[in-house]
Structures are given as structure tokens and as C-alpha cells.
Amino acid sequence: MPHRSNAGAALLIMVAVLVIMGGCASPEELARRQGEAFVQTQQAAIGQTAESLRLTAEAAIKDAIPDVQLPQLPGQPGQPAASRPQFSRLPVASPEWYGGFGANDFARDNWRKYYTQLGGLHNGTDFGADVGTPVYAGLYGIYTGPSTDATKPGSVAISVGGFRVTFGHVVPDTNLKLNQEVSPDTLLGTVGDHPSGDHLHISIREGSRYHNALLFFEPGLINQSEWGGYTPPAGPLSIHSFIPMSTDKANYWGEKNIELLDLKGAP
Ligand SMILES: [Zn+2]
């Protein structure tokens, strides 16, 4: 049985080599090898724990916030009769930075100040722009006055079908008339002053939930990778399409029984 004898011979040679190698190693070298093996074992254990925690957290979030499919666009994008918002141009030219939707790092650090009714999550998308920068509608819709979703120093609400698009931290243009139709090039106002950095906040609300506004821009308008600013971490919420308004006082960041505040003032 040549295979068995060959295997046996190979095993003997391997053992001999190991014995010789072990015999040649100094006590320091043996200690170093043992140390390295110990560290590798510990690192593997830590990695497994972190991965299992991450998977558990992702599963919990997915259960709490089910994803949804957005309705299909009727006809051509950007037509006045659209039943959902569709941005065909950026509301501010050349935004300087981008603030992501949901669990971004600004929301993590400031949820007590701004996002307690939103489960600690950012309900919109921010576009960094200097005070005075013109703000255009970017889409077709109906001007319905100021919005309660973001008020300071002013705001503009545009109604599109069952959606309310809020242009937050905006000084409204004085020519706007209630219930007038707006088109992508309609001037809505200018970027106002904001303590956490001047920017335009856009949120898209449907009933009691906020959609990720980036999903309503035509392809090619948004290139997040070119902008700095606060962004969502890699994870399930960064790809979720909406967040619900919190009703159970639970918080994404892990604190319970938070105070519910009025939405006014949410960035
Ligand atoms: Zn914002």
C-alpha cells in the first residue's frame, strides 16, 4: 500500500523538521512565538464578538424600521402632475458639503439638542452653502407657506402629491404667493443663518415618516463622494429609505425615555 507508506514517511519527515526547528529556537524566540500566537487568538476572539454585535444590531434595526419600495414615477420625471417629488436640479449651486440622512455623526453628537422626537436621527439632507445663497425649488410643486419641520430662521414648504418637501433654514422670497405653482427654476429664497453651519436642509415628509431626500434627485445630480461634512456610517440605516417619527421614546443611540420635544427647530 504505497500511499499509506508515503504518507507515513512524509509525516515522519515533518515531525523531524519540527523537532529540529524547535530545538534550534532560542527561549526568547519560543516566547515570542507563544506571544504572537496568544495575540492572534485574542484578536480573532475580539473580531468575532464585534462582528456578532454588529449583526445583532443590524437585525434589530431592520426589524424596527422596515424598508419600503417607493412608488413608481408617473410619466416623465419633473412634470407638474408628478405625484412624488423629483429634483431635476440642485436647489443650491455647488454645495460645499453634504450632511447625510438618518444616523450621521452630527446626529449622534447632537441628538439631545435637535432630534429627540426622531429617535435621535437626522430627518433630512443638508447642503452646505453660505448665507445669502439663492435657493431654487429644483422640482415642480405647490408652495404652501412655511414648514413646521424646520423653522429657523425661516422655511419654505412645497407640496407634491402626498409629500411635503421642506426647505429649511431659508429666508423665504417675498414674491412667493400661497398656493402658487413652482417649477425647478423658481426662486424660493436664500440660505439663512444657522448656528451649526450655514446650510440648506431638505426633508421630504409623507405622513409621519421622513424619506431620504437623496432618493428623490435625478441620477447624476448628487455625488456625495466629492463633499465633506457629516455623513451616515456604513450600516443598514445609511441605505434605509425613511425614518419614522418616534412614538415609543426609544432612541437609536441607545438611550430610553427621552423627552419628546416639538419638531420646531429640528435642523
Ligand atoms: Zn438638516
Ligand 1 centroid to 28 CA: how many Å?
Answer: 58
- Specify the higher pLDDT residue, 88 or 153: 88
Q: If 0-12 CB within 10 Å is exposed, 13-18 middle and 19+ buried, where does residue 261 land?
A: middle
- Split at pLDDT 50, 70, 90, the class of 237 is low
- Specify the higher pLDDT residue, 243 or 261: 243
Whose cell is 435625478? That residue is: 218
- Split at pLDDT 50, 70, 90, the class of 242 is confident
All structural domains of the chain with their residue ranges: 2-64, 98-244
Ligand 1 centroid to 267 CA: how many Å?
Answer: 4
Ligand 1 centroid to 39 CA: how many Å?
Answer: 44
Report pLDDT for 181: 96
- Split at pLDDT 50, 70, 90, the class of 73 is very low
Ligand 1 centroid to 87 CA: how many Å?
Answer: 17
DSSP bridge pairs for 211: 204, 242
Whose cell is 495575540? That residue is: 39
In tens, the pLDDT along 79-137 reads 445 689 999 999 999 899 988 888 888 888 888 888 877 788 888 999 999 999 999 99
Whose cell is 421622513? That residue is: 210
Report pLDDT for 54: 58
Query: Is the pLDDT assigned to residue 47 strictly greater than 50?
Result: yes
Buried b (16+ CB within 10 A) or exposed e, 233-254: eeebbeebbbbbbbeeeebbee
**Quick check: 212 and 249 in contact, CB under 8 A?**
no
Ligand 1 centroid to 213 CA: how many Å?
Answer: 11
Q: Tell me what the pLDDT averaged over the chain comes to.
A: 76
Ligand 1 centroid to 48 CA: how many Å?
Answer: 36
In tens, the pLDDT along 205-236 reads 998 888 888 889 998 888 877 888 887 766 65
- Split at pLDDT 50, 70, 90, the class of 50 is low
Report pLDDT for 36: 81
State the Cα–Cα distance between residues 174 and 189, nearest whole angstrom.
8
Q: In this structure, what DSSP letter does residue 117 have?
A: G
Report pLDDT for 246: 60
State the Cα–Cα distance between residues 28 and 31, nearest whole angstrom.
5
**Quick check: 64 and 53 in contact, CB under 8 A?**
no
Ligand 1 centroid to 54 CA: how many Å?
Answer: 27
How much is the pTM?
0.66
DSSP bridge pairs for 126: 99, 201
Ligand 1 centroid to 200 CA: how many Å?
Answer: 7
State the Cα–Cα distance between residues 148 and 145, nearest whole angstrom.
10
Ligand 1 centroid to 173 CA: how many Å?
Answer: 20
In the chain, how long is the greatest CA-to-CA distance?
Answer: 97
End-to-end CA distance of the chain: 79
Looking at domain 98-244, its CATH class is mainly beta
